[in-house]
Amino acid sequence: MSTFYQSNYVNTNDNLDLSENLKVNDFLCPHCNRIKLSTDLIKRLTKLKNEYKYPFYVVYGYQCREYFLEKGENPDNSHSKGMAVDIHFGGKADLLDILDYAVKEFIHVGLVREITGEYYLHLGSASNSLYWLAAKKENASDTEYIYYSDYRKMRYFIESRPEFFKNIKI
Ligand SMILES: [Zn+2]
Ligand SMILES: [Zn+2]
């Protein structure tokens, strides 16, 4: 049974603490200033912020169903359920190093390439493990995915294509 940190509307001037090192403002839905975030996910992100050698920055936190509907995208996903966030490390983190760390704490881990060519990490709480590589396209529904149920297989794929993955920093 999941529990959530949840608020219908957040006054961003209050800049509330989500945990000892996370701020509510960083995870709000960009279109309605609401938040819903799994407390399990908050706990793991707090640990990541405390323990990993580089601080992370939030790309996408909670995004409500209406937000996705307005964009014409599937509204039923882990962000609208408060079960996932997307982060990056300002281009400091080595890809395999951060993936190896992330999979110890999170069982949903995705590496996503934006249309701009920049990368971020999707981290989620869930009941079953899933790892993936994704490349966003101009049209969101054209996003290409490669899914793995076993992280070691994704890691092998990355390692076996150094010419493509070598210079990727998150
Ligand atoms: Zn919203
Ligand atoms: Zn995501």
Which sequence spans correspond to the domains of the chain? Answer: 4-165
In the structure, what pLDDT confidence band is assigned to residue 75 with cuts at 50, 70 and 90? very high
What integer is the mean pLDDT of 149-169? 94
pLDDT tens per residue across span 45-73:
999 999 999 999 999 999 999 999 999 88
| Per-state percent for the chain, helix, strand, coil, to nearest 5 | 30, 25, 45
Ligand that lies nearest to the alpha carbon of residue 110, given by its number in the listed order: 2
Contacts of 134 (CB under 8 A, 6+ apart): 110, 111, 112, 113, 122, 143, 144, 145, 146
Q: What is the rounded distance in angstroms from the CA atom of residue 16 to the CA atom of residue 35?
A: 12
Strands (E), 52-127: 57-60, 84-88, 108-113, 119-124
Angle at 49 between CA 90 and CA 77, to 5 degrees: 80
Which pTM value belongs to this model? 0.94
pLDDT, position 23: 97
- What spacing in Å lies between the alpha carbon of 160 and ligand 2's midpoint? 25
Helices (H), ranges, 35-132: 39-51, 65-70, 95-105
- What spacing in Å lies between the alpha carbon of 80 and ligand 1's midpoint? 9
Contacts of 57 (CB under 8 A, 6+ apart): 87, 88, 89, 90
pLDDT, position 163: 92
In the structure, what pLDDT confidence band is assigned to residue 139 with cuts at 50, 70 and 90? confident
pLDDT, position 154: 97
- What spacing in Å lies between the alpha carbon of 52 and ligand 1's midpoint? 30
The amino acid sitting at 143 is T
Ligand that lies nearest to the alpha carbon of residue 108, given by its number in the listed order: 2
In the structure, what pLDDT confidence band is assigned to residue 2 with cuts at 50, 70 and 90? confident
pLDDT, position 141: 80
Residues around ion ligand 1, judged by CB within 5 A, are 29, 31-32, 64, 67
Residue with tokens 């408060």: 82
In the structure, what pLDDT confidence band is assigned to residue 1 with cuts at 50, 70 and 90? low
- What spacing in Å lies between the alpha carbon of 103 and ligand 2's midpoint? 15
Structural class in CATH, domain 4-165: alpha beta
- The percentage of the chain sitting over the pLDDT mark of 90, rounded to a whole number, equals 89
- What spacing in Å lies between the alpha carbon of 91 and ligand 1's midpoint? 28
Q: What is the rounded distance in angstroms from the CA atom of residue 113 to the CA atom of residue 100?
A: 18
pLDDT tens per residue across span 84-133:
999 999 999 999 999 999 999 999 999 999 999 999 999 998 889 999 99
Q: What is the CA radius of gyration of the chain?
A: 16
The tokens of 33 are what?
A: 């200033």
